[in-house]
């Protein structure tokens, strides 16, 4: 292997060429990464030097990153997260400036896993780690046109004390994300982590961690329930139209069969804030969570999926989202603990990517990934952003 055909060297070259404009990274580790790659290849580890990025300056300490490294993955750098000064988290600050959306530089990439989404979208790395406490993986995945998965809360160690945040991954596709689940969950059980505190409805026990078979496409059609707004969100009509067109295409292809089930939930904003603020036993928060858990159990019965837009809005400008909550359709699943993913659904007329969100029963992460692969196979391939082809 020469440096020119090394996977890590190619990743480092793309970072050097593209990141001056995108600001996806806060640190890059070329010498260490090349040394790790040589070691992984010499030891014939299963990932064979697969280059990946980690979220934020603490990313290499996460359970997922350590599992990937043990399997022969190579962290090449740390990606941007929001800086101080804003209450909104749908942005990032790289080493040399504000992280920009690879599709439209005048828009934010989303966050808080901002740099991870941009690094994947621009082809700087194959996959990147993230964490998702209200949509922090799924929102940037939607706005950068890539795949993003929030795992079941409690399946992996939670990055925050509230238990709302779950580990996640961003990749160019669901297929490209499979090494994450395969090697992060494969074998020994991870350290115990709580589901969100004061869970109103006790979730079914998660299956014991064991070696994972590949996420093969499931039998079709996939049973699914579609909701444009979960009964409470105000969704940009064009975003809703893009997602509905994708769902209609899935139905026409025989990939999905829609079920007539009521997916209306109570607005989780207040309950999320109570849990995040250390008051999970707030009576109103408990009522909302209990009601939503019962409704989600009915919606997802029989291995059904729940399909929604990933965000109610398109990527906003760098000045902020204003009064909009980009988390309106994602944070319900942080409260409930269900795994959820965003994958590319299409574009608005002004060139902004739109994400389709899929949610599944607690602990059904591998099945959700398999369903996402089946959905991807029935939708047009996600194109590369203009920023990925800069010379």
Distance between CA 161 and CA 133 in Å, rounded? 11
pTM of the model: 0.92
pLDDT tens track for 141-172: 999 999 999 999 999 987 688 999 999 999 99
174, 358 Cβ separation under 8 angstroms: no
Q: How, if at all, do strands 51-55 and 74-79 pair?
A: parallel
Q: What's the mean pLDDT when you consider all of the chain?
A: 90
Phi-psi region of 49 (alpha: psi -120 to 50; beta: other; left: phi over 0): left
Closest CA relative to residue 63, chosen from 156, 154, 189:
156
**Sign of the four-CA dihedral 150, 151, 152, 158:** negative
Residue by residue, pLDDT tens for the chain (391 residues) are 555 679 999 999 999 999 999 999 999 999 999 999 999 999 999 999 999 999 999 999 999 999 999 999 999 999 999 887 677 677 688 888 999 999 999 999 999 999 999 999 999 999 999 999 999 999 999 999 999 999 999 999 876 889 999 999 999 999 999 999 999 986 434 434 334 444 544 444 433 444 444 555 577 799 999 999 999 999 999 999 999 999 999 999 999 999 999 999 999 999 999 999 999 999 999 999 999 999 999 999 999 999 999 999 999 998 887 788 999 999 999 999 999 999 999 999 999 999 999 999 999 999 999 999 999 999 999 899 988 876 5
Phi-psi region of 224 (alpha: psi -120 to 50; beta: other; left: phi over 0): beta
The residues annotated as belonging to the active site are 55, 112, 136
Beta-bridged to residue 78, according to DSSP, are 27, 54
């Amino acid at each position: 292997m020469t440096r020119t055909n090394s996977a890590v060297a190619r990743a480092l070259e793309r970072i050097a060429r593209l990141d001056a404009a995108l600001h996806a990274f806060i640190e890059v580790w070329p010498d260490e990464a090349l040394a790790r790659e040589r070691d992984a290849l010499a030891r014939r580890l299963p990932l064979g030097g697969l280059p990946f990025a980690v979220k934020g300056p603490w990313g290499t300490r996460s359970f997922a990153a350590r599992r990937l490294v043990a399997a022969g993955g190579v962290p090449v750098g740390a990606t941007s997260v929001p800086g101080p000064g804003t209450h909104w988290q749908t942005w990032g600050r790289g080493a040399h400036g504000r992280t920009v959306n690879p599709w439209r530089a005048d828009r934010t990439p989303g966050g808080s896993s901002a740099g991870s989404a941009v690094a994947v979208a621009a082809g700087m790395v194959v996959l990147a780690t993230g964490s998702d406490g209200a949509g922090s993986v799924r929102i940037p995945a939607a706005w950068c046109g890539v795949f993003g998965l929030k795992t079941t809360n409690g399946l992996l160690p939670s990055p925050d004390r509230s238990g709302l945040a779950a580990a996640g991954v961003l990749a160019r596709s669901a297929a490209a994300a499979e090494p994450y689940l395969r090697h992060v969950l494969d074998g020994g059980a991870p350290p115990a982590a709580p589901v969100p505190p004061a869970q109103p409805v006790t979730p079914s026990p998660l299956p014991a961690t064991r070696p994972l078979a590949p996420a093969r496409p499931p039998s079709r059609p996939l049973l699914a329930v579609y909701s444009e707004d979960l009964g409470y969100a105000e969704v940009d009509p064009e975003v809703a139209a893009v997602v509905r067109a994708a769902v209609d295409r899935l139905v026409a292809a025989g990939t999905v069969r829609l079920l007539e089930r009521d997916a209306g939930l109570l607005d989780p904003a207040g309950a999320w804030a109570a849990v995040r603020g250390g008051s999970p036993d707030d009576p109103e928060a408990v009522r909302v969570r209990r009601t939503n858990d019962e409704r989600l159990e009915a919606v997802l019965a029989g291995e059904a999926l729940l399909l929604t837009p990933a965000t109610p809005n398109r990527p906003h400008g760098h000045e902020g989202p204003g009064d909009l909550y980009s988390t309106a359709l994602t944070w319900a699943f942080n409260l409930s603990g269900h795994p959820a993913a965003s994958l590319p659904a299409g574009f608005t007329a002004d060139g902004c990517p739109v994400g389709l969100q899929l949610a599944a029963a607690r602990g059904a992460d591998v099945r959700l990934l398999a369903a996402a692969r089946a959905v991807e196979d029935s939708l047009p391939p996600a194109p590369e952003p203009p920023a990925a082809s800069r010379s």
